[in-house]
Structure 1
Amino acid sequence: MKYPVLTASLLFVGAALPAAMVAAPAQAQVGGIVHDPRNYSQNILTAARTLEQINNQIKQLQNQATSLMNEARNLTSLPVSTLGELQAQVEETRALLGEAQRIAYDVTDIKASFGARYKGAALTGPQAAMVANADARWQDSVAAFEDAMKVQAGIVGNIGGTKQSLGILVGASQSATGALQVAQAGNQILAVQARQLADLAAVVAAQGRAQMLDAARSAAAEAEGRERFRRFRGGN
């Protein structure tokens, strides 16, 4: 009769053990310290997120530093400048034009000179005056051709300086470290080209002046010849 009672007690204990195991919290105690796996996992996740935020902030600071360095390079001025040489060359050409002989590059002077030697009374006055005016016109033409040749010589002399300036600027543009240096080098190269165009305009003006004065001299000589022929025939 005792065996059934013992068996029932064992069954009761066996049934109670799983329930006790399920009801126990997921904790462990080691050396008096309670370890909670769920809390530990949460702490690790929080630490990982914090580390990721710190890494992102470091990357942002690095990007900002790189951007500032690039901006500094872009704002760095070109270490060379050919402006002084260009201005000196332009001034030399302007000075050569300013040395125009007999008739200057001036509207008032041109009107006065043509009125005195190339038309009107200058072609119909006394014989001595006609001879003097013809000689003055010849001197105007000779001086104009001389002026044109001096301007040409001065501009040819600038070719060496132009080559040197372009070499310096092209070298500087190739070694430029930022956008500002590239832009400044390009602007200076454009300035060299502008000076070359100014030289070309000066040559064209000097040559045109000489040709126009020679053509005016020929026209005046023709008109003067008709006047002399009229006088030779005794016309009024």
Structure 2
Amino acid sequence: MTLTRRRLAAALIAAPTLTGLVLAPHAAQAQLTVFDPSNYVQSVLSAARALQAVNNQITSLQNEAQMLIGQAKTLASLPYSSLAVLQAQVDRTRELLGQAQALAYDVSQIQQAFRTNYGAVDLSASDAALTARADARWTTAIAGFEDALKVQAGVVGGLGASRDQLTSLVGASQSAVGGLQAAQAGNQLLALQAQQLSDLIALSAAQGRAQALEAADRAAARADAKARFSKFMGRASQP
């Protein structure tokens, strides 16, 4: 066998080994992941969209939370209430009116009193009866003025509490955090005005009652004087 033939045979024997060595790197490369720029860009865009959606949801939840907080403030009740103090003042004024002496604020009682002590005089009434009528009217008139002074003192005594309530309610209305608190403060201010108006009406009624009793006493006194004069003239004309 010549040298050339020997070399050719050796090359054929070594060919499978060389082929495996040559093909092995190609097989390894075939197992590696191929990088695709377009797919990578799409993945990044999808992630960005998902992140934006999450951010939008977070913003929406924050807005809803703020809305709920605002609604809670709107529906929050006013922490200050003056109704108990105002009701106490009204009850005190009514109690003073209920303590009317001699002649109460009662229609039937007033009618009865005017029939007996302020009405027309019977010319046959004795001097003692006329004197008793006059004493009853005088007592009633004095009691009426006393009642008016008591009501006046009660109203004036409540001015300090009303002023304190007004100051507190104005402060509460200015610091109101919601519509309900502002409305409640406004309602309590209206209640304070109503209470003050009630006191003024009660005072006016008590004063008017005292003045009416005094005027009625003067009118009845003139009627009594006329009856006495008529009786005196009747007696004088007798032989």
Question: TM class by shorter-chain length?
Answer: 0.7 to 0.9
TM-score norm. by structure 2 comes to 0.78
Asked whether the 8 Å contact 2:123–2:231 carries over to 1, the reply is: no
* Aligned match of 1:68: 68
Q: Supply the AA of the counterpart residue of 1:54.
A: V
Asked whether the 8 Å contact 2:173–2:182 carries over to 1, the reply is: yes
**Separation in 2 of the partners of 1:202 and 1:50?**
74
The secondary structure found in structure 1 opposite 2:79 is coil
Percent of aligned pairs sharing the same letter: 55
Asked whether the 8 Å contact 2:120–2:223 carries over to 1, the reply is: no
**Separation in 2 of the partners of 1:56 and 1:189?**
45
**Separation in 1 of the partners of 2:228 and 2:38?**
128
Unaligned runs of 5+ in 1: 1-30
* Aligned match of 1:180: 180
What does 1:57-136 align with in structure 2 at a 5 Å threshold? Answer: 57-121=57-121, 125-136=125-136
* Aligned match of 1:192: 192
**Separation in 2 of the partners of 1:44 and 1:67?**
34
The secondary structure found in structure 2 opposite 1:233 is helix
The secondary structure found in structure 2 opposite 1:45 is helix
Distance 1:124 1:101, change over 3 A: farther
* Aligned match of 1:212: 212
The secondary structure found in structure 2 opposite 1:120 is coil
Distance 1:123 1:169, change over 3 A: farther
Asked whether the 8 Å contact 1:77–1:180 carries over to 2, the reply is: yes
Aligned pair count?
A: 207
> Does 1:156 find its partner at 2:156?
yes
Asked whether the 8 Å contact 1:123–1:223 carries over to 2, the reply is: no
Deviates more, 1:220-229 or 1:60-69: 220-229
Asked whether the 8 Å contact 1:78–1:185 carries over to 2, the reply is: yes
The secondary structure found in structure 1 opposite 2:78 is coil
Unaligned runs of 5+ in 2: 1-30
TM-score norm. by structure 1 comes to 0.79
1:184-204 Cα offsets, whole Å, 9 max, x none, are 222222111111001000001
**Separation in 2 of the partners of 1:123 and 1:39?**
127
Q: Supply the AA of the counterpart residue of 1:143.
A: A
**Separation in 1 of the partners of 2:101 and 2:171?**
42
Using the TM superposition, give the Cα deviation of residue 124 of structure 1 relative to its aligned residue in structure 2, in angstroms: 5.8
Asked whether the 8 Å contact 2:121–2:223 carries over to 1, the reply is: no
**Separation in 1 of the partners of 2:210 and 2:179?**
47
Structure having greater relative contact order (Cα 8 Å, sep ≥ 6)? 2
Using the TM superposition, give the Cα deviation of residue 75 of structure 1 relative to its aligned residue in structure 2, in angstroms: 2.3
**Separation in 2 of the partners of 1:42 and 1:115?**
108
Asked whether the 8 Å contact 1:102–1:143 carries over to 2, the reply is: yes
**Separation in 2 of the partners of 1:101 and 1:122?**
27
The secondary structure found in structure 2 opposite 1:125 is coil
Using the TM superposition, give the Cα deviation of residue 50 of structure 1 relative to its aligned residue in structure 2, in angstroms: 2.5
* Aligned match of 2:144: 144
Asked whether the 8 Å contact 2:117–2:133 carries over to 1, the reply is: yes
Task: Answer with 1 or 2: which has the greater Rg.
Answer: 2
Asked whether the 8 Å contact 1:93–1:199 carries over to 2, the reply is: yes
**Separation in 2 of the partners of 1:123 and 1:196?**
48
Asked whether the 8 Å contact 2:121–2:227 carries over to 1, the reply is: no
